[in-house]
Chain A
Amino acid sequence: MAIVEHTDSTGISGDDGVRRRDFINIAAVSFAGVGAVAVVLPLIDQMNPSADVLALASTEVDLSAIQPGQAIKTTFRSQPLFVRQLTEKEIAEADKVDASTLRDPQTLEERTVDGKKQWLVTMGVCTHLGCVPLGAGEGENKGEYGGYFCPCHGSSYDTAARIRKGPAPKNLEVPKFSFTSDTAILVG
Chain B
Amino acid sequence: MSFPWAEQYTPKNPVMVWIDEKLPLPRLAYNAVGAGYPVPRNLNYFWNFGVLAGLALMIQIVTGVIMAMHYGANDLVAFSTVEQTMRDVNAGWLMRYAHANGASFFFIVVYLHIFRGLYFGSYKAPREMVWLLGLVIFLLMMATAFMGYVLPWGQMSYWGAKVITGLFGAIPVVGEPIQTWLLGGFAPGNASLNRFFSLHFLLPFVIAGVIILHIWALHIPGSSNPTGVEVKGPQDTVPFHPYYTAKDGFGAGVFLIAFCALLFFAPNFLGHPDNYIEANPLSTPAHIVPEWYFWPFYAILRAFTVDFFFVPAKLLGVLAMFASILLLFFLPWLDTSPVRSGKYRPTFNKFFWILVIDVLILGWLGGAPAEEPFVMMSQVAAAYYFAHFLIILPLISRFEKPLPLPGSITEAVLAKYGKTDGATVAVPAE
Contacts and interface: CB of A to CB of B under 8 A. Distances in A.
Interface in B216-253: 239, 241-242, 245-246, 248-249, 252-253
A50 B92 contact: yes
B94 A3 contact: no
A28 interface: yes
A82 B94 CA distance: 40
Contact of B249 (A2, A43, A46): A2
Contacts of A43: 62, 66, 91
B245 A48 contact: no
Interface stretch (B81-89, B292-300, B315-323): B81-89
B69 interface: yes
Contacts of A1: 249, 252-253, 256
B192 to A, nearest CB: 28
A37 to B, nearest CB: 15
B13 interface: no
Nearest to A5: B242
Interface residues of A, number: 19
B283 interface: no
Contacts of A12: none
A63 interface: no
A113 interface: no
B246 A4 contact: yes
Contacts, number: 57
Given A1-B249, A3-B245, A52 B88 contact: yes
Contacts of A28: 249
Given A2-B51, A9-B35, A42 B91 contact: yes
A132 B239 CA distance: 64
B90 interface: yes
B78 interface: no
A32 B69 contact: no
A2 B255 CA distance: 13
7 contacts: A1-B253, A5-B242, A5-B245, A42-B91, A43-B66, A50-B92, A51-B88
Interface of B: 7, 35, 51, 62, 66, 69-70, 84, 87-92, 94-95, 239, 241-242, 245-246, 248-249, 252-253, 256
